[in-house]
Amino acid sequence: MADLRDQVVEDRGIIKKIQLLFPGYHGYRINEDLRDADVILKDELYKKMLDVIAKLKTGESSLVSAGQFKGLEAIGALRSRMQTAAEDVKHHSAGYSGISAPIKVDAKKISALYDLDMKIFDQIQSLQRGVSDFVSKCASGSIDQSKLQEIDAVISSITDLNNSRENLLYGGV
């Protein structure tokens, strides 16, 4: 995935470019552009996770069509965890960098948030592969429990990465 931070900088309009000329706005504009890039990335992560959830539903449908009902509860629970993780990624703090923010979040921290979200992106790619493998087995009417465990481990990793956001931003404040 291309670095969205560069794309946001390239897409600055005239007002944003003028803001960069004023000392009071320069840092604010840079931080807000970084934050915007992170928000765009989080939206993309959310969409990718929703695609994975839809693919998992396809696997469930294949199992039901094959008359294989054992294990559907575990898949449903996994899908629920995936949905919760997706919502958490989408709605988690982006680090306000306003002019008079109560806790200052500088460009370095906001950029670190973006890097954290790129780690989540890598985990989502692993999730996509795992779910694809799982769904292909479901098409034959069988449930691969080891794949379910692998998928669950990736979801846990995504959740852990996302939960580290507050500490990265505020250092436990």
Helix (H, G, I), strand (E, B) or coil at 143: coil
Query: What whole-number distance in Å separates Cα of residue 26 and Cα of residue 46?
Result: 31
Tens digits of per-residue pLDDT, 28-56? 777 787 888 888 889 999 999 999 999 99
Mean pLDDT taken over the chain: 84
**Tell me, what's the pLDDT at 35?**
83
- Structure tokens given for 150: 């692998």
What's the whole-model pTM score?
A: 0.81
Query: Given a cut of 70, is residue 102 above it in pLDDT?
Result: no
- Structure tokens given for 17: 């470019």
Confidence of residue 76 (pLDDT cuts 50, 70, 90): very high
**Report for 1-10, 18-27, 161-170: range of highest mean pLDDT:** 161-170
**Tell me, what's the pLDDT at 101?**
55
Domain ranges for the chain: 41-170
- Whole-number Cα distances in Å, 135 to 17, 59, 131, 139, 160: 48, 5, 6, 6, 25
Of 12 and 173, the one with more pLDDT: 12
- N-term to C-term CA, the chain: 33
Query: What whole-number distance in Å separates Cα of residue 69 and Cα of residue 4?
Result: 43
**Tell me, what's the pLDDT at 15?**
65
**Tell me, what's the pLDDT at 116?**
92
Mean pLDDT value across residues 146-171: 90
